Amino acid sequence: MLAFNDDIRKQAPQLCSESLTQDTSLLIALATLALAGIAWTQARAAKVSAEAIMNSERAWVIVDADVRTKPTEPRPGKTADFFSFFVWNAGKTPARVTFTRSESKVIESIAALPDIAVYASGNPGTKSNSMLAPVPPTQMGSFNIIMRGPEFDRRLFDTLLNGQLFLYAHGRIKYMDTFGNPRYTTFGFCWHAPMPGDILSGQWVRTGPQSYNECT
């Protein structure tokens, strides 16, 4: 028994040292993980803060309907209407518009629209390099999209007025913000023909599947 106790006493310093080494390694590992967690949290907070600042200062391209343009009665010699939509920058810094595409069409219902906008095969869109200043619509630094409407005969025009068919205009604008980020805005408007007892007069109403009215 004495020999056993002597052996334990002799080995005690080594056992204590090994135990301390293991405990120290564990503490270092835990501290490293804690520091990594703190660093990740700080990096995440810095990223969120930077994104918040960027979003508060960036360009936001918006499209609104020009209420002065609308489908008009067919008449001799008339071919088609042209519809105008304001493109303007609601942000604080300029945008550089790089691409636009738009068109109008007659549809049976909003529900009949595909989830992703489809354009006519002969409508590839237009590349551009236009600066869009952060100013309200109609002011210098903004611009209009002018799109040709369908050709209406009397029967087709009457179906619009009766709410049996609908006129729909939609488009997509790509642009770069001041920070060099690619962005896009989509828009979709339906012409709401005046109906008896309807509180809405004839006007363009923003509507359509989610992808038709997005800003990134």
Between these two residues, 74 and 34, which has the higher pLDDT value? 74
Nearest to 58 by CA among 186, 181, 184, 214: 181
What is the amino acid identity at position 41? T
Q: Give the tens place of pLDDT for each residue, 93-120.
A: 999 999 999 999 999 999 999 999 999 9
Where does residue 104 rank: exposed (0-12), middle (13-18), buried (19+ CB within 10 A)? buried
Does the pLDDT of residue 204 top 90, yes or no? yes
Distance from C-alpha of 49 to C-alpha of 56, rounded to nearest angstrom: 11
For residues 150 and 48, state if they share a domain. no
Residue 49 has pLDDT above 80, yes or no: no
Give the CATH number, domain containing residue 109: 2.60.40
* DSSP-assigned states of every residue in 18-60: HHHHHHHHHHHHHHHHHHHHHHHHHHHHHHHHHHHHHHHHS--
d(CA 182, CA 39): 29
* pLDDT at residue 15, rounded to an integer: 47
Q: Once rounded to an integer, what is the mean pLDDT over residues 192-211?
A: 80
Same-domain check for residues 79 and 185: yes
Q: Domains in the chain: how many in total?
A: 2
Residue 65 shares a structural domain with residue 52: no
Domain coverage including residue 198: 61-212
CA 35 – CA 144 distance, rounded (Å) = 54
The pTM assigned to this predicted structure is 0.74
100 with 206, same domain: the answer is: yes
Residue 92 makes CB contacts below 8 A (sequence gap 6+) with 56, 57, 58, 59, 134
Condensed to tens digits (0 to 9), the pLDDT of residues 5-28 reads 555 555 555 545 555 466 667 667
Boundary (domain end) residue, out of 15, 36, 57: 57
Q: Which pair of structure tokens corresponds to residue 210?
A: 């989610």
Asked if residues 176 and 183 have their Cβ atoms less than 8 Å apart, the reply is yes
Burial letters 112-140, b for 16+ CB under 10 A, else e:
ebeeebeeeeeeeeeeeeeebebeebeee
Pair 44, 80 in one domain: no
Q: Which of 37, 57, 77 is the last residue of a domain?
A: 57
Percentage of the residues of the chain whose pLDDT score is greater than 90: 52
Could you tell me if 48 and 152 lie in one domain? no
Among candidate residues 98, 88, 94, the one with its CA nearest the CA of residue 187: 88
Provide the pLDDT confidence category of residue 200 given band limits of 50, 70 and 90: low
Q: What is the mean pLDDT of residues 49-65?
A: 82
Quote the CA–CA distance of 145 and 81 in Å, as a whole number. 14
